[in-house]
Amino acid sequence: MSTRVLVVEDMDILYKILYNNLQDGLPMEKFQFIRVSTMRQALEVLDEDWDVILMDYHLGTLETKKDGVQFYTGADLVTYRRKFEAENPERKRAQIVGITGTKEFCEKLAEAGSDLGFPGGGRSSRGIIEYLQTWCA
């Protein structure tokens, strides 16, 4: 059984840096990585069972609406996921990890319900790899 990881990252170059580093540091056969790059794409898959969600804070400039609710940032997605989990206790609780550019944005994700944060986004791959390695133990 592989660990399902959703990566919510809009910038191609940051995702490539992160993914390349993950390939170098993890047994990739134990993970299934799915990447989405827009708010709309994230909302389409956020209700699925995920072990880990790597969440960026900024996802382009367009807000997205679902069920009458406006979504502007990754923090809005974290809030949505946590509400979904609370309303569906039989579903798996995902570990949400902020992978955004600054400590301030990681704190905003934490306020919304993320479990951990790595300022620096894809450039902070070492901490993300160490965290994901715990899923292999």
Domains parsed from the chain with CATH numbers: 3-133 (3.40.50.2300)
Contact 105, 1 (CB under 8 A): no
Q: What is this structure's pTM?
A: 0.91
- pLDDT over threshold 90, residue 96: yes
What 22-29 contacts at long range (C-beta under 8 Å, 24+ apart), as own/partner pairs, is 22/125, 22/128, 22/129, 22/132, 25/125, 25/126, 25/129, 25/133, 26/129, 26/132, 26/133, 26/136, 27/136, 29/2
The per-residue pLDDT for 51 is 95
Percentage of residues of the chain with pLDDT beyond 90: 57
Region 94-107 average pLDDT: 87
Choice among 3-7, 11-15, 28-32, 99-103 with the minimum mean pLDDT = 99-103
